[in-house]
Each structure stands twice: as structure tokens, then as C-alpha cells.
A and B are shown apart, each in its own frame.
Chain A
């Protein structure tokens, strides 16, 4: 069981690097959809007894993170004139290096935190931190509004990995609330991206820089 979990987490980590090295927005969306699918399987592997609740959370996460949200974003893409993130603030090679540093730092940090009592799979906590940090890198170094939304999604994915540890502690209602909030957030962001592209004929957030001191 544990080796399957670790294999899954390694895959999730690899997908992080794929996002950092990719310029085609469409393939980033597919990558994050794949990551969402793997995340959805994670609770089933980590918890030995699979009840109705774990099953529902899994199905909900898969449906939302790998089907509904990616489709929403792909549809938003269809109306936009852009296909690639052309001018990231930091180059792809540097982003990959940053990603590697973030992953290393996550491993080091997780090793210093006491984990002995709960016994999570060894890679789970580092994978969670690394995905959160990768989300941050995407958020801060990419200039297209849609890529920033993708960074935010990765951040949420990383948090979800950590949340798997607390699946039994978190009441079902809260899990549903969290997923619902995520859905509405992406939905509203999608609408705003649409307005940005109509208003400025561009979805680069560099255009959104008139308000400053």
C-alpha cells in the first residue's frame, strides 16, 4: 500500500516540474487535471478502511479538480487570443531550478517537523509543501491571468494533499464547503478573466498596473 502511495506522490511531484517547464497554457491545464485525478485517488490509498465518506470526497475531488474546473478553463481559453505564456517574469529554466530548490526545501522542512505519532506516508508532507510552493512560483512569475489561476489551483492541490491526513478529523460538511468555495472561486475568476480580455483585448495582468502609487 505504502509503495503505491509513494509512487503516486512522486508522480504528483513530477507533474509540478512539468507545469514549471511548460509554456503552452493548454498543456498546463491538462497537467493540472492529471494532478487532480491523482489527488483524488490519494485518500483511498492512504486510509486503510474506505468508507462512504472517503469515497465521496474522492469522487468529488476528482470530478471537480480533473473534470469540471479544467473544462471551465479550457472553455475560457477558447475565447481568448492567447495560447502560450510568452513573457514570464522568470525564464522556464530558472523556474525549474526554483522548483527543484522548493522541493528540496520542503523535504528538509518536513524532516524537521515531528511526524512520528501519526505515521503519514513518508513523502506525503514534503509533496504537499512542494506543491504549495510550486503554486506560489507559478503565481508570482507568470503574467497571464489564466496562468495565475492555474498557480492558485496548484496551491489548493498542495493543501489538499496535506488535508488527506486530516480526512477523518474534518467533518464531511467542511470538506464539501471547501470544494464548493474552490469551485465558486474559479468560476468568478473565469468571469473576470473574460471581462479583462474584453476590456483590454489582452489577458496579461501587466496591463492591470495602472493603479499604483
Chain B
């Protein structure tokens, strides 16, 4: 309990401190300080110190999300110091405060065991991240922020209605209406089924909007395309995982009610739809930041597809959540560097990144190879597990579709990425002042190292937590 309060409280205090510091150059230093304190607390929480109880507690999937967000934020906080130094002309007061508030609210999401509190925290992350999108103060970023805020808020409103439906299905089933997830799971068998189905659909659409699943993904390319790379990394790796946590926890209630079949069908179909939509838009994509947004749509699709494919798929899905978060960090941070060096994010003007920025270009290329699921990187392992689950469940068509779509996405994304990294940089790009520095390269390099390590073996504590999380979901025993 105290640990949970620390996890949410430290960043919020940091946000207040950052807001109070007058110096534009000193202020960003609050970010790494808070991030490291948060990381220490998150590691302690992951190790099982003070699991909490009641409203604020860390269940196994919550621990996973918390650690992922914390690691990602730690890397991004150092990067942000370097980035904001380059953007010294802009006031970063709101930016720093909102980044820290964002960390506080995502921690609250991971710990929140009450359906209503969870919702409040998700909405709060939307609101705290909206000013981050508008950092560049251009017409395009304004448009992106408006879409993000409006579509996000409407989605979240539907999730609220879904939460109320879930509460009502408990009432209609004659249960006292505690809205703690554990109580919901315990009482689930007696819930009113029509209301429960409605609740799952609304919560899925609501939190799915926040995850950016197709067809509710329309805010995503705009938001990720216009925002600074560091914000893109946090949204694509962190916020989407938090929204996924909402779906995981809801799914657990539905499984406990004996309706796993109903929910799994929706998850599988919508997962494939997201991958297909991502594939269509990724082919011929010239804007490499928008390309990353569609890649995020694809991987969100993979996550829910895995969840819908039983215990093996859920294992792959949760592992993939971690892998995807780390790789997205690498790709968005390096894409941000390339964007700054070329002052453009279109392949019409960007080429030869390997020559112009050997480190950023190299990591961007490595990130692409990893994110499309090539060995020896981590996403290969998790994607292969999900594919295995599809085959194991006898869902050959789903497995086949998944393979075809992965191939299409590999080719579509590859064309864009190779156009960025190969060839000769233009004369104009050679004249820009940006060059690779330790502070903008080490964070993605560290994340990439993590991706390589997780590709070679999954460390025992991580594997145990994921296995616990799968058991925690309570899949029905297979019928003999």
C-alpha cells in the first residue's frame, strides 16, 4: 500500500517541483532524478515487497506493466534532458510537469484494483499527455492533439459506461456491488450475462481506443507523427500497455464468469483486423514516424490476438507487451534523432541516415529488424509463442493470416526503413547542427541491449511473473 502510494506520489511531487523551478535548463534534471527513484521502487515492487491490498495492490500483470513503464521512463528521462537542451528556445515547464504527472498516473493504473479508480487514472493519463503532444506548437500538432483528446475522451467515456455495466451486472446477479477486481472475479459466476457481455464490449472498445486498436486507431498516426520522439516512446510503449492492462483485468472477470469463449472470439477477430489495417497503411508509407504508429497498431493487435488464444497465447502476449514496449522505445527515440538531424520525417527528404547518424541510423535499423519479429531479437520469441498458440489451439486459419500479415508488414516497413537508412544524405541534411551525442544515444542503446538479452533468454523472475499472470487469468482447464 505504502509502496503503491510512493510509486504514484513521487512523480506527482516531482511534477510540482518541476513546475516550481524557474530555470529552463535546470528543470529537466528533475526527470532523471524522479525516474531513478521510481525505478528503484518499481524493482522493489516487482520483487514482491509490499504487494498492497484492497484498492491499491499489485497483481502479477500490474507488476509487469509497472516495471516496463518504469524502465522505459528511466531511459526516456535521460533522453529528454538531451532533447530539451536542444530545444532550449521553448519553455519546457508544462512539458516536464506533464511527463512526471504521466508517470504518476500510469503507476496508479498499474496499482488500481478498483474498477472506478482504474478508470479515473486512465482518463488522467490522457489529460496529462495531451499537452505533451502540443509541445511543438504547430498547426499539425494542434490537430493531432485535438483528435487525441476528443477520440481518447470519447473512448474512455465508453469504458466508464462499461464499468457501470459491469457493476450493474453484479447488482442484477444479486451480489453486493463491490467493484474491486478480486471481488468481481469471485462473484462473477452469478453475474447477469447480458449485462456482462455489454460491459465487456464497452470496456474493450473504450480501452481498445486508448490502445489504438483498429478501427479506433485514427488518432494514433497523427499523434505519434507530430509529437516529439520521446513522447511517442512513452505513449507507444507505456500508455498502450496500461490500456492493455485494462482489457486483461476485464478479461479475467469474464473468464471467471465462464464466458471466456465469448470474449476470446472478439479478441482474436479484432486482433487480426488491427494487424490487417496496419499492414494496409504501412505499405507505401513515406512518413517514418507515422509508419511507427501503424507498427504500434499492429503490435496492439498481436497483444489481444495472443490473449484470445488461451494460456500459451496469453504468455506470449504478456511477454510481447514487454518486448514491444522496449523496441518501441528504441525506435521512437532514434526516429526523433533522425527527425532532428534532417528536419523532416518523410522519406522524400530523408536518406542515408547510416552515414549522417551512424548510431541513430544503426539502432533504427536494428529496431526495425527486431520489431518485425526476426531472430535473435526478443519480439521473435513472443511472436513465435503466439503463433504456436494459434497452431496448438487448432486455429490454422488465424495462424496463417498472422504469418501473411507479418510478412506484408515486414516488406512494407522495410521499404520505408531502408529508404531512411540507405543512400546518401542530402547536402542540406549534412549542414544541420544535430549530431549523435551520448545522452541521445545511450538510452535507446540500453533499451536495445534489453531487447537482445530478452531474445536470448527470459530471466527467471520475469518468466515467473508472466507465468503467475497467466495463472492469475484463470483459464478454464482443458476438457479431457
Which residues of A line the B interface, CB within 8 A? Answer: 112-115, 117-118, 132, 139, 145, 148, 152, 155-156, 158-159, 162-163, 165-166, 168-171, 173-174, 177-178, 180-181, 184-185, 188-189, 192, 195-196, 199-200, 205, 208-211, 213
Contacts and interface: CB of A to CB of B under 8 A. Distances in A.
Contacts of A209: 143
Given A118-B171, A192-B134, A169 B195 contact: no
Contacts of A115: 172
Contacts of B325: none
Contact of A117 (B114, B157, B172): B172
B139 A200 contact: yes
B117 interface: yes
Nearest to B195: A113
Interface size class of B (residues with CB under 8 A): 35 or more
A195 B142 contact: yes
Most buried by B among A112, A163, A185: A185
Main secondary structure of the interface of B (DSSP, over half): helix
A78 to B, nearest CB: 20
Contact of B157 (A112, A156, A174, A196): A156
A155 B153 CA distance: 10
Nearest to A109: B198
A55 B160 CA distance: 22
Contacts of A165: 164, 168, 171
B144 interface: yes
A115 B195 CA distance: 10
Contact of B114 (A114, A166, A171, A181): A171
Contacts, number: 125
B59 interface: no
Given A159-B164, A174-B117, A211-B222, 9 more contacts: A117-B192, A132-B161, A165-B168, A166-B177, A168-B177, A171-B179, A188-B130, A189-B150, A211-B221
A34 to B, nearest CB: 21
Main secondary structure of the interface of A (DSSP, over half): helix
Nearest to A169: B177
B455 interface: no
B139 A210 contact: yes
A164 to B, nearest CB: 10
Nearest to B131: A188
Contacts of A145: 146
Nearest to A136: B154
Contacts of A213: 221, 281
A208 B147 contact: yes
Interface string B160-203: 11001101101111100111000000000000101100100000
B194 A114 contact: yes
B119 interface: yes
A180 B124 CA distance: 10
B5 interface: no
B192 A114 contact: yes
B127 interface: yes
Given A152-B154, A189-B149, A174 B114 contact: yes
B430 interface: no
Contacts of B131: 188
Contacts of B127: 181, 184-185, 188
